[in-house]
């Protein structure tokens, strides 16, 4: 059984051809799935009943089952989806004043093993397919309503996107094709914890998409302790890849830095971070740590984060404190999935 959302437009045209249908049917099907967001072939009323029956035998449309949704007082909505194999993933809808964003997952669990991340505690199960990534957007857009169009996508949910590069790339192709979701590449951000070969592939194959790098430390010693993948690709390797990345001041690389009390939040860290990224077209996001039950770290006090921020601004490095939304719900990545496990 083919999942329609696993096919980019060229593959959809080939699938239609294999069924012996006219080539224009690919665009028709795509419009129904991605523009009108139907959940079954029977809703495609400008396609003959016989053809719809044949499509239903050969393919499916919806692959995610909504298990639970929590809504914060700030409008953030956290979704727990079940995949067809019974695994579960999370997505987050984040409303802003002038746009809406969805944070999508790319893997079940995560192999990166970051010590401050709740998702990492469950280990890694498997990659998501392109369709499972894209369907997160479709299901959430259906739920919030078409009057709140989601224009921005961040690949920052469960998983390390660049360790699932091929499926992430295809998902971006589907999201940005004019006959599919028709989103702007400039409004899509792919985040990585520092998978250097993936950054290099992004530079060649997805260079109009924004890049975010989760650095989280200014020395290899500290970074290896909290981001184990640093043993494979250290800070120098990451910075070398960033220097070669096609970015500029209108499309900056985002450097993500979670603030952990007495771990990576000293004045010396701030000065080192400034020296590391100086000369690169970056924007630094300082992220207050979102603690969860049993977390091995504590959040840096707000006043200390602000001091850290000022040091970076003194180096003329654009630096912002990225407060997490949805603090009154299961906001930390992996928290809703973990909570549901314990209640089942």
305 contact partners, CB below 8 Å, separation of at least 6: 259, 265, 286, 288, 321
**Active-site residue, from 70, 103, 256, 333:** 333
The domain spans of the chain are 2-60, 65-343
Q: Is 205 a catalytic residue?
A: no
Residue count of the chain, please give it: 344
User: What is the arithmetic mean of pLDDT over 307-331?
Assistant: 87
Give the least confident one: 124-133, 240-249, 266-275: 240-249
**Euclidean distance between CA atoms 304 and 317, whole angstroms:** 18
User: What is the mean pLDDT of the segment spanning 333-341?
Assistant: 57
Query: What's the start-to-end Cα distance of the chain, in Å?
Result: 30
Compute CA 100 distance to the chain's CA centroid, rounded to the nearest angstrom.
14
Tell me what the mean pLDDT of segment 285-302 comes to: 92
Residue 110 annotated as binding site = yes
Q: Tens digits of per-residue pLDDT, 20-74?
A: 999 999 999 999 999 999 999 999 999 999 999 999 999 999 889 999 999 999 9
On the question of pLDDT at 185 being above 90, the answer is yes
CATH number of 2-60: 1.10.150.530
Is position 117 annotated in a ligand binding site? yes
Is 342's pLDDT higher than 80?
no
271 is in an annotated binding site: no
Check the annotation: does 160 bind a ligand.
yes
What is the model's pLDDT at position 343? 47
**Annotation says 103 is catalytic:** no
Closest to 191 (Cα-Cα) out of 258, 139, 125: 258
Tell me which of 2-11, 261-270, 286-295 is least confident.
286-295
Task: Compute the distance between CA of residue 4 and CA of residue 113 in angstroms, rounded to an integer.
Answer: 32
**What pLDDT does 118 receive?**
87
- Mean pLDDT for 108-135 is 93
CA–CA distance, 188 with 215 (Å, rounded to integer): 20
Give the mean pLDDT of 262-284.
Answer: 97
215 annotated ligand binder: yes
Going by pLDDT thresholds of 50, 70 and 90, the confidence category of residue 174 is very high
**Cβ neighbours around 21 below 10 Å, total:** 18
**Residue 100's CB: how many other CB atoms inside 10 A?**
17
The residue from 70, 90, 132, 256 that is catalytic is 90
**How large is the average pLDDT for residues 296-320?**
97
Mean pLDDT of the residues in the chain: 93
Percentage of residues in the chain with pLDDT exceeding 70? 94
Backbone angles phi, psi at 289, to 5 degrees: -65, 130
In sign, the C-alpha dihedral spanning 127, 200, 182, 90 is positive
The pLDDT, as a whole number, for residue 119 is 84
Q: What is the CATH number of domain 65-343?
A: 3.20.20.70
């Amino acid at each position: 059984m083919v999942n329609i959302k696993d096919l980019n437009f060229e593959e959809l045209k080939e699938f239609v051809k294999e069924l012996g249908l006219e080539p224009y049917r690919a665009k028709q099907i795509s419009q129904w799935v991605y523009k009108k967001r139907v959940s079954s072939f029977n809703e495609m009323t400008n396609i003959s009943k016989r053809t719809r029956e044949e499509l239903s035998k050969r393919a499916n449309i919806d692959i995610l089952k909504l298990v639970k949704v929590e809504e914060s007082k700030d409008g953030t909505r956290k979704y727990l989806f079940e995949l067809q194999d019974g695994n579960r993933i999370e997505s987050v809808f984040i409303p802003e004043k002038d746009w809406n964003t969805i944070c999508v997952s790319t893997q079940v669990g995560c192999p990166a093993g970051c010590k401050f991340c709740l998702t990492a505690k469950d280990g890694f199960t498997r990659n998501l397919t392109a369709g499972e990534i894209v369907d997160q957007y479709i299901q959430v857009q259906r739920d919030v309503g078409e009057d709140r169009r989601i224009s921005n996508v961040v690949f920052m949910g469960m998983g390390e996107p660049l360790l699932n590069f091929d499926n992430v790339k295809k998902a971006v192709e589907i999201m940005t094709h004019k006959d599919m979701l028709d989103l702007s590449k400039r409004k899509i951000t792919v985040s990585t914890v520092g998978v250097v070969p993936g950054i290099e592939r992004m530079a060649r194959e997805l260079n109009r998409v924004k890049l975010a790098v989760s650095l989280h430390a200014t020395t290899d010693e500290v970074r290896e302790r909290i981001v184990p993948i640093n043993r494979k690709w250290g800070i120098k390797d990451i910075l070398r890849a960033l220097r070669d990345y096609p970015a500029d001041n209108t499309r900056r690389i985002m450097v993500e830095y979670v603030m952990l009390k007495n771990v990576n939040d000293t004045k010396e860290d701030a000065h080192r971070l400034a020296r590391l990224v100086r000369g690169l077209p970056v924007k630094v996001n300082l992220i207050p740590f979102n603690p969860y039950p049993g977390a091995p770290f504590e959040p840096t006090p707000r006043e200390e984060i602000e001091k850290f921020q000022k040091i970076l601004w003194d180096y003329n490095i654009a630096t912002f404190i990225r407060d997490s939304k949805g603090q009154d719900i299961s906001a930390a990545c992996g928290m809703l999935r973990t909570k549901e496990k314990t209640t089942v």
